[in-house]
């Protein structure tokens, strides 16, 4: 599997890992001869950055498809509409969409044992539970926790390759300032996140041509 990435929009591996860490909710796709399996879920990098950690409900057949298919995890970063009105010559341009995305092409999944499953869930909880709530939550009974953990299948997906696409107007370097101004004026959450990403990454542009 591969994603189409014009040379202007090729991102480096460090940027891809940054995007995964900041936007961990992914679309996981495993292709098999009988058709694709698709699951939407959070995936976290392991401590070494060599694999993705996640889990699915045990009744979800996706985990069984790992053995016979190729798995790709797709992470979507900030994205926003770009108006042609933000260009210096709107009559000579068309609107577009700026976005950041990473495809993680994975190797054969490792299915977690009971200890690893608990560790995966604890890692996920530690990553997302708000600090102001975490300390005041009552503990879950060990009996219930054990039963709930039995209802999921955790896994590690070894990372074989990252495909990083940063479409942030790098092919139009003279228009970047206008696009950033337009996004700031639009003022929505997506627009502001996209302009922040442009400010951080668009200067790495290789220019037009």
Dmax of the chain from CA atoms? Answer: 66
- pLDDT band per the 50, 70, 90 thresholds, residue 147: very high
Res 103 pLDDT > 50 = yes
Res 53 pLDDT > 80 = yes
Q: Report residue 55 as tokens.
A: 């889990």
So what's the pLDDT on residue 208?
Answer: 38
> What is the Cα–Cα distance from 201 to 203, expressed in whole angstroms?
6
**Model's pTM, two decimal places?**
0.91
Give the model confidence (pLDDT) of 105-129 as tens digits.
Answer: 999 999 999 999 999 999 999 999 8
CA distances for 6 relative to 10, 42, 96, 206, angstroms: 7, 28, 15, 12
Res 133 pLDDT > 90 = no
> What is the Cα–Cα distance from 198 to 201, expressed in whole angstroms?
5
In angstroms, how far is CA 182 from the centroid of its own chain? 25
């Amino acid at each position: 599997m591969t994603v189409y990435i014009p040379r202007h929009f090729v991102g480096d591996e460090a940027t891809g890992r940054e995007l995964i860490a900041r936007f961990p909710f992914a679309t996981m796709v495993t292709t098999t001869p009988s058709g694709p399996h698709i699951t939407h879920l959070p995936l976290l990098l392991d401590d070494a950055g060599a694999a993705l950690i996640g889990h699915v409900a045990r009744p979800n057949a996706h985990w069984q498809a790992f053995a016979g298919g190729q798995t790709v995890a797709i992470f979507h970063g900030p994205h926003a509409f770009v108006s042609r009105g933000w260009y210096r010559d709107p009559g000579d341009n068309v609107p577009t969409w700026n976005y950041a995305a990473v495809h993680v092409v994975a190797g054969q999944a490792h299915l977690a044992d009971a200890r690893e499953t608990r560790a995966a869930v604890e890692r996920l909880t530690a990553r997302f539970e708000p600090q102001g709530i975490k300390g005041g939550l009552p503990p879950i009974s060990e009996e219930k926790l054990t039963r709930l953990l039995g209802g999921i299948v955790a896994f590690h997906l070894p990372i074989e390759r990252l495909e990083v696409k940063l479409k942030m107007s790098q092919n139009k370097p003279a228009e970047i300032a206008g696009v950033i101004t337009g996004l700031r004026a639009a003022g929505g959450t997506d627009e502001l996140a996209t302009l922040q990403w442009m400010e951080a990454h668009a200067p790495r542009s290789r220019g037009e041509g």
